[in-house]
Amino acid sequence: MCFNLGWFEALLVWLVIVCAVIAILRLLIPWVISQLGVNLGIIPAVLNIILWAFIVICVIYLIFDLLGCLGGLSFPRLR
């Protein structure tokens, strides 16, 4: 039951939520740092790298979940 309409609906909703959170964070991080009055140009870059690393980890997790739905493949779960 991995590839039914409910699953695709939930996936699309999560994609919209993740994209919205990323957009908000990319707007807020430079603003917050500028409000602190400190000119640390590397902090937004580091936070952006951490954000994208988290996204890539989530995509890898999703890909392995999808491969697990195919049947013959079994991958250990981290939960």
Taking only the tens place, the pLDDT of each residue in 27-79 is 887 788 778 776 666 777 777 788 888 888 888 887 777 777 776 555 566 65
SS3 5: helix
Phi/psi of residue 42, each to 5°?
A: -85, -25
What is the structure's pLDDT at 64?
77
Q: What is the pLDDT of residue 45?
A: 77
24: number of CA atoms within 13 Å, CB side? 6
Q: Is residue 33 part of a domain?
A: yes
Largest distance between two CA atoms of the chain: 56
- Domain span at 40: 5-69
pTM metric for this prediction? 0.58
Q: What is the pLDDT of residue 71?
A: 65
Domain count, the chain: 1
Question: 20 pLDDT exceeds 80?
Answer: yes
The Cα–Cα gap between 77 and 24 comes to 31
Tell me whether residue 76 is in a domain. no
Residue 75 is assigned to a structural domain of this protein: no
Please indicate, yes or no, if residue 77 is contained in any of the structural domains: no
What mean pLDDT is predicted for residues 9-31? 83
Is residue 79 situated within a structural domain?
Answer: no
Q: Going by C-beta distance under 8 Å and a sequence separation of 6 or more, which residues neighbour residue 7?
A: 1
The rounded distance, in Å, linking the Cα atoms of 3 and 27 is 35
